[in-house]
Chain A
Amino acid sequence: DGGITQSPKYLFRKEGQNVTLSCEQNLNHDAMYWYRQDPGQGLRLIYYSQIVNDFQKGDIAEGYSVSREKKESFPLTVTSAQKNPTAFYLCASSISNRGVNTEAFFGQGTRLTVV
């Protein structure tokens, strides 16, 4: 089945640790995105990538880092510099990020909790 897989579903992080969230897609999409969702709120864009080996900051990139070494993979690292990392993280992809081929498809999310 084609789709987007995020892992793990739940993640616990100690203060001062870096953690990496996985996002894999087999849809052959060029564009991939990371969003953060806090309770009762919409999604805020952290980083996005239009193509392999390229990525740009979104609206709330501070304290996060990404890589895009393969088309199908877009991992997100939450660093110790992120002051309030507890949130629900969602990965998405689309054929392109411009024009008509921009329908977004989402993974099932990773809930990160700082303990």
Chain B
Amino acid sequence: KQEVTQIPAALSVPEGENLVLNCSFTDSAIYNLQWFRQDPGKGLTSLLLIQSSQREQTSGRLNASLDKSSGRSTLYIAASQPGDSATYLCAVRGNTNAGKSTFGDGTTLTVKP
């Protein structure tokens, strides 16, 4: 059974700092890995999707990497801003088990002005 772990559970940084969020998974048989942002009481907003054949994806100040062999992904946020404060979730979609996604519990990020 796929298990997804996100460490740390919470992170607080000063504005302008670069930071890395971590996601690890136990089964490397995946279609893709997707990073989401969730604001309090809201749905999930897709940030980046990395296919299993890719190593990284970039969007603006965000860069996500995937190392399938070690079961790890990182989300790098450059020059953090208070508006980046949210919970970040990663989801792994397996290519077995009917292609279902497994979510981590998320990392809650606070960027202080």
A contacts, CB < 8 Å to B: 6, 33, 35, 40-45, 48, 50, 56, 58, 88, 90, 92, 97-100, 102-109, 111
Contact = CB atoms under 8 A, between A and B. Distances in A.
Interface stretch (B12-20, B60-68, B70-78, B94-102): B94-102
Contact of A97 (B4, B46, B98, B106): B98
- The main secondary structure of chain B at its interface with chain A is strand
B42 A109 contact: yes
Given A45-B101, A98-B95, A104 B41 contact: no
B105 A41 contact: yes
Contacts of B34: 103-104
Contacts of B105: 40-42
Nearest to B103: A42
Given A102-B32, A102-B99, A111 B43 contact: no
Interface residues of B, number: 25
A50 B36 CA distance: 22
Contacts of A107: 43
B44 A42 contact: no
Contact of A104 (B46, B51, B95, B98): B46
B26 interface: no
B104 A42 contact: yes
A41 B104 CA distance: 8
Contact of A90 (B4, B31, B44, B99): B44
B92 to A, nearest CB: 11
A97 B89 contact: no
B101 to A, nearest CB: 7
B39 to A, nearest CB: 10
Contact of A42 (B4, B51, B95): B4
Contact of A99 (B31, B101, B104): B31
Nearest to A48: B100
**Most B CB atoms within 10 A — which of A33, A42, A56, A97?**
A42
